[in-house]
Structure 1
């Protein structure tokens, strides 16, 4: 039986819930800093380490595999399915998407979805947790805004109210369970590549290099690609469709983001399963959703409709 992902529209049968739910705990703030900083340090060390030693095809293969797996867990699972309800999924697929998205180390699923629904509710306005336009339009203000949108917003103590923005997930026993598993899934996403590298090469060195490249560096690259959708894709790029915000399509990130950087198209039609809606716009996530649909694992997929796209299309583009 397919599960229902509820609309993010405010409820009308109860008093409005507050936007925030207090502050993150000191432990949560420490973990956010650790997850953001340690992989970034690994990424900074990657170039000198790779210069002539410490990187092999096993490391590359494992890094590509785990990057693709966890990135699609975020793009298809956390974003298009759980946040926007772009399709319905059977229980096995739902749990798999929740697990693989959690292994991207971008935080527990309920908090991630609540933050992103809040972003869409207040896009590029006061209340948006990661808009680059909150400080003004001067060069200094935009530099500050870019850093805030890219990763600075995560270091703020404000906690998005999940009871307001993700009540459907709070009421879902399977998702609550995966949410609680986040620490274990974090350990798994870091240790699995090392275990695989050690077994494939049958050496401790193979385990160590796989841990560096396919765990730390892979997580860091995925973090910065995801954060770039929040920052770059709200500052520069093509805006062919009408949207209430400054979202933009930024083609250089299309492959690494699995189609998420067609961001103006997404904000113009948030519940659509395909973000790359125009000819030549590669959207790997949408292609995999199409496969899930053919297999019968996904139903009621909200594919783009020509008449809706025509209504949203600007007469002049920016």
Structure 2
């Protein structure tokens, strides 16, 4: 099944933007998944000070961070949300699974929220714009919190029937969507199992769970949320876009290329976000590998004429 989707879903679509509210259980799980890893991150510095952190933990954290981050950037975002390429069934399922292991919510809800974000970017209806409360210092501080984390705690639920009809019709994706609780368990316990087996100790399992499980999830959460918040507030805006998206280079490596956000909003279906010389985009590099292997086809690479058309004629 092709996931080539028009990035700009029209606000005039007949179906409502919001479909009901999250249940009490769903709200509890959102808070649990957001707060527990964050607490682990807060405890990380004193725990790392002289004990509790070794090369095995660092290696496992780097591996699981890279795996799950690319599942979000290539899978949830560039493929499922924007249809930047076509994928074989095996790659499609693998991207859905690894993206789900980032603990950022089930795939259908994630994609629905992000398509809604592009349809209403930095306007009323955008689920996580930092500009919704005004432009004063106080309003932007409130907006930053809302865009970074606060929006997750709102009860309204984006209408999946309107924004993700293609995913609702895909039996494989429906199955992965239902697997989200099980994949959450896997993403936390797999590092513990690996740490225990590598060190052959319960202590290795415990530190693997803490560093490559909880702390890794928390770091990835905040990197992803920073694209929603920081990358709509500060940075370069070389391309014309209908919103305030910006390129923020300090996050380029940790976000696997997602922080070239102005470039992305100017050409949402493009498979590469770092389109200019020197802009590191690890996600695009891996998509190129998938293309060479024949797993990805119809890849929408940047074209000079599209870049020239979107480039601002005056300095930002």
1:224 aligns with 2:189: no
1:145 aligns with 2:143: yes
- How far the C-alpha of 1:74 sits from its partner, in A, is 0.1
Aligned length: 315
Task: Say which of 226, 251, 254 aligns to 1:253.
Answer: 251
Task: Report the alpha carbon displacement of residue 10 of structure 1 after superposing the two structures with TM.
Answer: 5.1
Whether the aligned pair in 1 keeps the contact of 2:16 and 2:162 (CA below 8 Å) is yes
Name the structure 2 match of 1:5.
4
Residue 154 of structure 1 is matched in structure 2 by 152
1:97-141 deviation digits (Å, cap 9, x = unpaired): 000000000000000000000000000000000000000000000
Task: Name the TM-score, length of structure 1 as normaliser.
Answer: 0.97
Whether 1:277 aligns to 2:284 is no
Q: Which deviations, in whole Å up to 9, do the C-alpha atoms of 1:237-293 show, x marking residues without a partner?
A: 000000000000000000000000000000000000000000000000000000000
Mapped to 2, the partners of 1:280 and 1:146 lie a distance apart of 28
Secondary structure of 1:21's aligned partner: strand
* Pairwise CA distance, 1:6: 3.5
The answer to whether structure 1 residue 35 and structure 2 residue 33 are counterparts is yes
Which of 284, 290, 293 in structure 2 is aligned with 1:292?
290
Unaligned runs of 5+ in 2: none
Match of 2:119 in 1: 121
Say if 1:8 and 1:315 are closer, same or farther in 2 by CA, change over 3 A. closer
Gaps of 5+ in 1: none
Counterpart pick for 1:68 among 66, 69, 76: 66
Q: Secondary structure at the match of 2:161?
A: helix
Deviation at 1:3, TM superposition (A): 3.3
Contact 1:253-1:261 at 8 Å conserved across structures = yes
1:317 is displaced (CA, Å) by 2.6
In the alignment, what sits opposite 1:84?
82
CA–CA separation in structure 1 for the residues paired with 2:273 and 2:157: 28
